[in-house]
Copies of this chain bind each other. A is one copy, B any other.
Amino acid sequence: MPQPALDLTLDAPALTAALVDFPSVSGTEKPLADAIEQALRALPHLTVDRHGNNVIARTRLGRAERVILAGHIDTVPIADNLPSRLDEDGVLWGCGTSDMKSGVALQLRIAATVPAPNRDLTFVFYDNEEVAAHLNGLGRVADAHPEWLEGDFAVLLEPSDAEVEGGCQGTLRVLLRTTGERAHSARSWMGANAIHAAVPILNRLAAYEPRRPVIDGLEYREGLNAVRIEGGVANNVIPDVCTVTVNYRYAPDRGEAEALAHVREVFADCGVAEFMVDDHSGGALPGLSHPAAAAFMKAVGGSARPKFGWTDVSRFSSLGVPAVNYGPGDALYAHKRDEHVAIDKITHCETRLHDWLTS
């Protein structure tokens, strides 16, 4: 089935609506990647490359500085919230409006309307951001073609409510397992209850005081939480295994090894039988003191805020490219049935980005 081509002459809100109405749940991005590639190849000032469903377009103007505008084109599953709907208050509703097709629309608008930017531009459109880290298109491009991602500074157009969000916190997920011995619950003294054995872990979690460090003037907030607990064999059996899944969100002044050591230490004397790292993505320092970041801050105005959630700015950071989040969406509504974006935030961000790249 041929998909409609994307019309880059639409204004940014209308282009956002067109992108939202072009479903691209993680794993099904190919038609949208095709349409984006097709639209970009029609722009003579851009060189376009493709790897899988990831599309990279670059100017080659020989400017002193190169900046990257990046965004993922996939969304979480649709939740009865398509097609998009623009209400009378200027709010566009639908899956992906905030996270992050409004951001992708701005990438495409800048690509189409700024043929001679004051800095060389790299546009990165990538897939599979909303699913397992090893599938992430940005990571795959970084592995296969790291030269495509070279640059002095990156803006990730993730939802940040039209304010600059610096860096991001790291996230570490560990499974803490306690063990015991099964027995019939009518003769519980013949067994050892693994759920009861998890009490020290939970006490430690409940009593934990998270840090709130200030980095580059931004106050971060950590968190250490049980996100899952699971134990039980049958209603009449003393359980022999209980697993607590703990998520540590940590400020970017802490490296990955340090974060892991901290969590090990927190639970060191809690009777943990198995300590398993389930997932780990380091944070990224805000990097706002970098000249390119400072210039960006000055151009877009406002004051930066800390980013609490993990985003791909961390991936750019690990490639040596300072990066910030700056997009019109609102992260509080991402992944929700009532996801939406305010049209005036889209146009506001477009104006600021345009000014930055043309002044």
Task: Name A's interface SS.
Answer: mixed
| Chain B residue with Cβ nearest A331 | B184
Whether A195 and B202, one on each chain, are in contact in the complex, defined by CB atoms closer than 8 angstroms, is yes
- A340 at the A/B interface (Cβ < 8 Å)? no
Q: Which of the segments A239-247, A261-269, A293-301 contacts the partner chain?
A: A239-247
B245–A232 contact, CB under 8 A?
yes
Contact residue among B185, B193, B227, B309 (Cβ-Cβ distance under 8 Å from A239): B227
What's the minimum C-beta distance from A255 to chain B, rounded to whole angstroms? 18
Q: Residue A234 at the B interface, CB < 8 A? A: yes
Interface centre among A203, A227, A237 (most CB of B within 10 A): A227
* Least distance between A271 CB and chain B CB atoms (Å): 11
Instruction: Indicate if the CB atoms of B239 and A235 lie closer than 8 Å.
Output: no
- Stretch in A100-108, A109-117, A218-226 touching the partner: A218-226
A34 to B202, CA, bound (A): 54
A229 B227 Cβ-Cβ under 8 A = no
Is the CB of A31 closer than 8 A to any CB of chain B? no
A184: which B residues are within 8 A, CB to CB? 309
Asked if A249 and B199 make an inter-chain contact with CB atoms under 8 angstroms apart, the answer reads no
Copies of this chain held together in the complex: 2
Q: Are A196 and B230 in contact (CB under 8 A)?
A: no
Does A310 belong to the interface (CB within 8 Å)? yes
A131 interface residue (CB < 8 Å to B)? no
Q: Are B245 and A235 in contact (CB under 8 A)?
A: yes
Beta-carbon contact of A195 and B309 below 8 Å: no
Measured CA separation A229–B178 after assembly (Å): 13
Assess whether A195 is in contact with B226, with CB atoms less than 8 Å apart: yes
Q: A186-B223, A195-B202 are in contact. Are A239 and B232 (CB under 8 A)?
A: no
Residue of B nearest to A202 (CB): B199
**Using Cβ atoms and an 8 Å threshold, which residues of chain B touch A233?**
227
- Cβ-defined contact, A225 with B173, below 8 A: no
Contact B196 A206 (CB under 8 A): yes
Q: Per a CB cutoff under 8 Å, which of B169, B188, B196, B308 touches A202?
A: B196
Query: What CA separation (Å) do A300 and B329 show in the bound complex?
Result: 81
- The answer to whether A237 touches B227, judged by C-beta atoms less than 8 angstroms apart, is yes
The one of B202, B223, B227 in contact with A189, judged by C-beta atoms closer than 8 angstroms, is: B223
Binary per-residue interface labels of chain A (204-221) against chain B in the complex, 1 for a CB within 8 Å, 0 otherwise: 011000100000000001
Q: Does A65 contact B (CB under 8 A)?
A: no
C-alpha spacing A184/B279, complex, angstroms = 16
Whether, in the assembled complex, A358 has its beta carbon less than 8 Å from a beta carbon of chain B, the answer is no
Interface residues of A (CB under 8 A from B): 169, 171, 173, 184-189, 193, 195-196, 198-199, 202-203, 205-206, 210, 221, 223, 225-239, 242, 244-245, 247, 249, 278-279, 308-310
Q: Which 6 A-B pairs have the closest CB atoms?
A: A228-B232, A188-B223, A186-B309, A195-B226, A186-B308, A196-B206
**Pairs A–B under 8 Å by Cβ, sample size 30:** A171-B186, A184-B309, A185-B227, A185-B249, A186-B249, A187-B223, A187-B308, A187-B309, A188-B223, A189-B221, A193-B205, A193-B225, A193-B226, A195-B225, A195-B226, A196-B205, A196-B206, A196-B225, A198-B202, A225-B238, A226-B232, A227-B233, A227-B235, A227-B237, A227-B238, A228-B235, A229-B231, A229-B242, A232-B245, A235-B279
